Structure 1
Amino acid sequence: MLQSIVYTTRFTPLSKQEVLALLENPKDEMISTLPAINPNHGDVYLYSYKGRPEAKKDWRADQLRWVHKGVHSLPKKNPTIVKTYHQRIICGMREKFYRYGYESTDERVRMVVVHYLSGCTRGIVDRYPQCSDDGTLPSLLENIDSSRNGFKIETVDASNFHVQLPESVGQISHKMKNVRTKRKMSREDLYGVYDLHFALDNFIRNLILMPEFIIVVSLPEIVNLYNEVCSINQHQLLSYDTTFRLGEYFVSPIVFKCPFFEEQPSIPLAAMISDNRSIDVHKIFFRAMNDITVNFDCSDVRLVTDREWTMTSALDSVIRNIKHVFRWDHILKDVGSWLTTHKHRAAKLDYLTHIRQLLDSDSEEDFQRLYEGYLKEWSQPFVLYFEENIKYDILHKSGKWLLNELGIYTSDIGVTSNVSESMNALLKRLTAWKDVNLEQMVLALYFLQTFYLKEVLRGRCGTGNYRLREEYVHLAMDSASVVFNDDYFYLTPDDIIAFLENKSWNLTQNVDS
């Protein structure tokens, strides 16, 4: 039940011990799940967002305007409480009325003690809700951002309805308009991609407009190369570990290693362009990969990804046989971010070393032995974080003993970084652009695949940068017998950037020419 209720009244500041007592032994019937309503001098609220992580900051939306005054850790060494200060503003003037928010550093405590104090005894007299900085619940705004079919406000009775309402109808209308505008594909984008479907024969494999917007691209000759690799090589390593943000869209490439050459180049097999990263989007892409190739969802394929939840959930629900693993650097990056955010900077290096040693365990038993020792050194919040977010992924997706069984372990780093450097660099350079359109994205991916196709053919002819390995010399080709498709443009990654920067070109016409 949603409610806003004064827990107690206190006209002097709360001590750290008093705050901890409130958080550790709360009276359930006095807990608030909505921001304060008409708060007065001395009012103490115990706000809970248990089961509602999106509502963590909703306690601030009390319909008053505040200026942030700072954050303090109590005590400074090994803090247990984080105290946030705000001072009230009325029409630009600072009043002697303050709001203090107390939060535990223990993530399991999903409550906030909110205390209102005045520098005078009159409390709050003048109210200007139209001046509110925190007038709309942050969770409501987040709901609008992620919603496709509007939103709803859950309420109980008229006494607390106004703190759940948006600050103004105009604010929500503007917010929803922005969300729709971001998701709407322009007419030029649609026509441009549709034209490219005919200009680039069989390159655009899927073009879905609704309910999800998705483009799946893959060069047929690259797919044939991948199928040839799978037919000759027992195990195949794929990578789907990076999603690039280009303008208003996301680009998610799948890359495979070509073992024919000494350099073992990483080659883009396919890519998806989408307007979001939902589970349904990834499911569509994985199903498309099953249709595009004959050797995707099989036990001989090892797929390396990052730990993006929507991606891994879609993979687990659609793909049954592929061997799915995580890269170590993603796990270490996530742990490092948590340590920095949760004031564990002093112990960051030691904790990261511990995680790396757990990843590099020779067996599950070795992992368990190390883990039991580290439990004595780690803080309780970090133990909770590790058990809820990291432990399973090491035991089932990343441990050295698992990677060794799959034949993909590389000393000290886990799985070899297998994203093509040139492809990675190209897409990262594109991310700096704010006006990348769909037509440019499709062409960039097309040119990238034709570049790798030509490099592979040159390598098999003994004239390129790739050298055939001794066990694959039977795959050598006579350059006189190789005919390059006249419809293809062969551009290096640097050429692709230069091509896309030339805004005066009619891109579709140049492909056809």
Structure 2
Amino acid sequence: MSMMFRIDYGNNIKSFEDWKSDNYMWKWNGRGSMTIGDHTFKKLYQVAQTVSKEKEFEKHVYVSSKNPSDMVVHYIGDEQKGIQKLKTPKSVLNKIDLLVETITPAQVYRNLISGNENADKIRNEQQIISRRNLHLRKQKLSHDELYNVYDMGFELPNFVHSYSLLPNYLTEIMKTLCPEIDDGRCVIVTDNEKSFKNAFMFHFPNLRQYRYWNHLDKNIERWFTKRRKKKPDNDGLNMNDDQIGEQVNDDEEEYELYENNFDEMDDTNELFQTTTNHSNAQQQQQQLGIYNTDNYNSNRSKETRREKARRYIQQIKLLLSSNSYDEYEQLLIETENQWEKQFKKYFHQWIKPDIHQLGLWQVDGLDLEWFS
């Protein structure tokens, strides 16, 4: 079979692609060009999808370069071999899209199938509903609420073009009321809340920032009590401090023990007082059994996770009580040999980067007047 049709859509631009909707399943097979006299045509090849997957039914389309609305469609082969599939022409879809902007899908469907020449091109009412949903999705600025606000700012001339979150707002006020905070003589001790730390760093670049120890203690305790026993590398290691506090605990009994007895762990203030004058740090470390002894090694294998957490926290505190950074580095080499592999990685990933905000040697000799 060989059939040829000439189609001229005229000025109806919306119908230029209707030749693709001939109720057969096609796949592209190439393209090219041909010249007849002084007239050039763009040639498109399509092969019908058939059961045998052979080229038993083809379609060649010739589009005029001078007039894209003028084209010739040539069918070659056995039409019976083609797989039929109802496909709504582009021009009909454009008409549906225009109607569903103001009319309900049910009414649009009834209007189109009642005496319309393209009634046989419409699949069902669900197709109209889908086009309506597509229109509604296009009206949404985005699925991100903050971006919606940002995008609205370009459209509305009276829209507020600047907004500030609480930490930034707070530091702006502090900078206005007390600019002396940034004179290099002040320090601030925080709980490692990133939004506040970043806001203070932005508005007060000369303000020295330090971290509380008690929050560090609790983070280490949670890392031990909440990480899963079966997957220590994945559960505790790759989480930041906030995520560690939020992870669901699988060991309910041990977690309850942690909640009921954690107050015993919160001895930060006591240790801070005893180590402010920390020239005896080495002696304290030996008294607490931080370094390897025969007695220590014999009891280590019997440690529970909570007991190990207490030991690690005491070791971290004594490291932070060093007289200098060099002393801390030396003690760290000796101390981390007693840590398990996962905790070493946790320490180097989440604690060591802020070590200069945690070490007592940073504030030693500053003659600070503490207030809160």
TM-score by length of 2: 0.35
Rg bigger for which structure? 2
TM-score by length of 1: 0.26
> Which structure dedicates a bigger proportion of its chain to strand?
1
